[in-house]
């Protein structure tokens, strides 16, 4: 490459395509690039400055710190490179452009599109943040490819009780115009607006004849309207459906949360079945809905394979920084139950906090940071708020919610009375072949967050031994055991979830009553549900107690009426948990046997406690063993549990 001769000039020319900039001699390359970006507004471009040598045709990339001077035979040229916006996880918003986000094709999009192309009227319902709007956007693209005109309306957010039918039609007409002004002219009605005006917007003419598919999202907003408005709305849509030859309205899709079924079921004569479910018909005249029940579609959550796929996409974007992709993805899937909104939020938070190893992700999920991040967002804070509000309505609803916290799942014949809890994402229901429902808290993450934030009132503990600013663990465990009557802890239906829930409440109550100024944090960890063919990402300790100032962390692992095999298995888990959480672990065996099994720890971080209940004397014989072989026994008198959970602090 030939070296050019420097020429003393006051300015240097820099070219980019047909444009040219004159900059003072001595300006750095970085300053030139900033000037070009500023003048062109190229926020999505990267500018590279190069020197083109006339003598041999070589091109020299220039470093940012180089100061430009005029060199004979050199021409300075800038080159613009388009910088693709990095993909992200969609959190709290629907995905319109799959190229902008990490994305898996929503299941059911093709089937729903085919139904709409065939002119069917369909319903999509599921809880919030379950991917409904993302599905509808994907369906709209397929409709366009099939030659139809999809018109998306995002609900009637301004609807309110007291609206007349004129208010409803005026709002719908306005939204149609905003969604597709080329097809729907603006309706300027200062006075009354009725169904005739709405229908006229779809009237086929010589000039306009096409197949329009209306997609009404957030359809549960219609529930704000009076029954009379709803009847007129459904009657009008039904009439247009029956006179399809006269209107451009080819198909219609409703989408919303579980409560949109109220819009449909109340308009069918469900006869004896409705009466058996305790469903009350509207007092207003009822008309058949144009939306058949057999075309109602519910979305499924992410599969573990889909969560792994999303994480692999993110790993590729971040240059392979994420280690143990399968383990982290499986853990997130199990803790969220595959809920699409929660999965996306967890994955985005993992990237934000750069928790790129399985260990760092576990530490993040075990801390309060993840819960605060998730349930500090409006959508999920709304779930917590609805749980709290519902628990105060009646004792029956309070008992219902506490029952769901205590049990992993409950089998019910009907879920009509739970529809609001299902719609708001507090509960989830899975139907079975025998027409029953398996109902549970919607995700382990939600259950853990509720248990962490709830408080206990009404249960008083004895005064703890001195000094009161330090937690005496032996005394704490004994106090918690004293309120565990055998009917409570040893009943056959008492599941692993129940053991955790019951003992966690007792420990939390004793800490709050006896050590109110210590600030101990009780962390209930939800057990993962094993799934065939899916690796368990990590076993979890039942309950962890920690406070960095007053004592090192410790935790509990429970087993009921253990045999040799299960006791050894739980002991090995306790050893693993101790290492995982850097905590001392109390392995507690609750039993009614007169000759209960014991196990001597060979790890100094593990303490074995055998608790044998005597139903006749209302006592519990407690035996403890540690790694030194020291064995202590005590007989505790049992007393009634008077504590009650309060959910006042779930939000805020």
Tokens of 602: 């060979």
Q: Checking phi first, is residue 381 left (phi over 0); if not, alpha (psi -120 to 50) or beta?
A: alpha
pLDDT tens per residue across span 206-226: 567 789 999 999 888 888 888
Task: Tell me the pLDDT tens digit for each residue of 319-377.
Answer: 888 988 998 999 899 888 899 989 999 999 999 999 999 888 887 887 777 888 888 88
Quick check: 268 and 296 in contact, CB under 8 A? no
- In the chain, the percentage of residues whose pLDDT exceeds 70 is 84
pLDDT of residue 490: 61
Q: Out of 299-308, 421-430, 485-494, which region has the weakest mean confidence (pLDDT)?
A: 485-494
Tell me the pLDDT band of 548, cut-offs 50, 70 and 90. Answer: low
Map out the domains of the chain with their CATH numbers.
6-82 (3.10.20.90), 109-297 (3.40.50.300), 380-447 (no CATH), 455-646 (no CATH)
Burial (CB < 10 A; 0-12, 13-18, 19+), residue 257, is: buried
Whole-number pLDDT of residue 343 = 92
Write phi, then psi, for 630 (nearest 5 degrees): -65, 130
CA dihedral (217, 223, 225, 226) positive or negative: positive
Please report, in angstroms and rounded to a whole number, the separation of the first and last CA atoms in the chain: 68
Which of 169, 150, 307, 301 shows the shortest CA–CA distance to 233?
A: 169
**Torsion sign across C-alpha atoms 308, 314, 319, 322:** negative
Give yes or no for a contact between 148 and 213, defined as CB atoms under 8 angstroms apart. yes
Q: What is the pLDDT of residues 332-344, one digit of tens each?
A: 998 888 999 899 9
Mean of the pLDDT values across residues 411-440?
84
Determine which helix (DSSP H) or strand (DSSP E) holds 637, and give its type and residue range.
strand 631-637
Q: Give the contacts of 428 (CB within 8 A, at least 6 positions apart).
A: 127, 337, 422, 439, 440, 441, 442, 443
Q: Give residue 535's pLDDT.
A: 43
What are the DSSP E strand ranges found in 65-148? 70-71, 74-82, 121-125
pLDDT digits (tens, 9 = 90+) for 47-66: 888 888 887 888 888 888 88
Coil, helix or strand at residue 606: strand
Q: What is the pLDDT of residues 85-114, one digit of tens each?
A: 778 888 878 888 888 889 998 888 999 999
The span from the CA of 441 to the CA of 450, in Å, is 10
Q: Which residues, 6+ apart, have CB-to-CB distance to 618 below 8 Å? A: 485, 637, 638
Going by pLDDT thresholds of 50, 70 and 90, the confidence category of residue 487 is low
What is the SS3 assignment for 319? coil
pLDDT for 428 equals 87
User: Which region among 277-286, 464-473, 504-513 has the lowest average model confidence (pLDDT)?
Assistant: 277-286
- Helix (H/G/I), strand (E/B), else coil: 641: coil
pLDDT > 80? residue 601 = yes
The yes-or-no verdict on residue 538 having pLDDT over 60 is no
Cα separation, 476 vs 609, whole angstroms? 13
């Amino acid at each position: 490459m030939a070296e050019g001769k420097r020429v003393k000039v006051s300015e240097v020319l820099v070219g980019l395509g047909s444009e040219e900039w004159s900059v003072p001699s001595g300006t750095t390359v970085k300053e030139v690039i900033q000037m070009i970006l500023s003048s062109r507004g190229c926020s999505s471009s990267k500018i590279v400055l190069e020197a083109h040598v006339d003598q041999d045709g070589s091109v020299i990339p220039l470093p940012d710190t180089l100061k430009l001077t005029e060199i004979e035979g050199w021409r300075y040229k800038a080159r613009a490179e388009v910088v693709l916006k990095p993909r992200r996880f969609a959190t709290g918003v629907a995905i319109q452009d799959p190229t902008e986000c990490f994305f898996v094709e929503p299941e059911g999009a093709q089937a729903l599109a085919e139904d709409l192309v065939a002119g069917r009227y369909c319903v999509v319902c599921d809880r919030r943040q379950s991917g409904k709007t993302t599905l509808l956007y994907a369906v709209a693209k397929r409709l366009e490819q099939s030659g139809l005109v999809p018109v998306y309306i995002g609900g009637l957010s301004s609807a309110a009780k007291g609206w007349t039918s004129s208010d409803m039609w005026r709002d719908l007409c306005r939204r149609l115009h905003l969604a597709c002004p080329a097809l729907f002219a603006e309706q300027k009605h200062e006075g009354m607006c009725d169904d005739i005006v709405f229908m006229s917007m779809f009237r086929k003419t010589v000039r306009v004849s096409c197949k329009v598919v209306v997609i009404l999202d957030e359809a549960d907003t219609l529930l704000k309207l009076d029954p009379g408005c709803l009847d007129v709305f459904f009657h009008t849509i039904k009439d247009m459906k029956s006179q399809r030859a006269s209107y451009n309205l080819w198909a219609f899709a409703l989408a919303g949360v579980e409560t949109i079924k109220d819009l449909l079921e109340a308009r069918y004569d469900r006869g004896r079945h409705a009466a058996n479910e305790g469903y009350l018909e509207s007092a207003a005249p009822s008309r058949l809905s144009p939306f058949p029940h057999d075309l109602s579609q519910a979305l499924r959550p992410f599969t573990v394979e889909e969560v792994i796929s999303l994480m692999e996409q993110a790993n590729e974007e971040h240059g392979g920084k994420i280690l143990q992709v399968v383990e982290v993805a499986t853990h997130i899937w199990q803790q969220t139950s595959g809920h699409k909104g929660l999965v996306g939020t967890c994955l985005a938070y993992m990237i934000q906090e750069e928790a790129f190893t399985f260990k760092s992700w576990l530490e993040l999920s075990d801390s309060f940071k993840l819960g605060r991040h998730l349930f500090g967002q409006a959508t999920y804070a709304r779930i917590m708020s609805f749980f709290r509000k519902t628990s105060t309505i009646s004792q029956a609803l309070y008992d219902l919610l506490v029952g769901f916290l205590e049990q992993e799942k409950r089998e019910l014949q009907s879920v009509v009375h739970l529809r609001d809890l299902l719609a708001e994402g507090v509960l989830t229901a899975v139907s079975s072949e025998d027409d029953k429902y398996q109902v549970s808290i919607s995700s382990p993450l939600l259950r853990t967050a509720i248990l962490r934030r709830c408080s206990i009132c009404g249960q008083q503990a004895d005064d703890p031994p001195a000094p009161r600013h330090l937690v005496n663990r032996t005394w704490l465990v004994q106090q918690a055991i004293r309120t565990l009557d055998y009917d409570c802890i040893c009943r056959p239906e008492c599941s692993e979830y129940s053991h955790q829930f019951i003992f966690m409440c007792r420990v939390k109550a004793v800490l709050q009553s006896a050590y109110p100024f210590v600030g101990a944090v009780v962390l209930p960890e939800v057990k993962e549900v094993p799934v065939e063919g899916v690796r368990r990402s990590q076993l979890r300790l039942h309950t962890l107690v920690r406070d960095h100032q007053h004592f090192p962390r410790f935790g509990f692992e429970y087993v009921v009426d253990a045999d040799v095999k299960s006791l050894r298995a739980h002991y090995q888990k306790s050893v693993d948990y101790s290492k995982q959480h850097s905590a001392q672990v109390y392995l507690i065996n609750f039993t009614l046997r007169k000759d209960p099994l014991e196990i001597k720890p060979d790890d100094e971080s593990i303490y074995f406690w055998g608790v044998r209940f005597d139903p006749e004397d209302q006592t519990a014989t407690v035996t403890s063993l540690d790694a030194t072989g020291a064995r202590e026994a005590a007989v505790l008198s049992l007393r009634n549990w008077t504590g009650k959970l309060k959910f006042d602090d779930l939000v805020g």
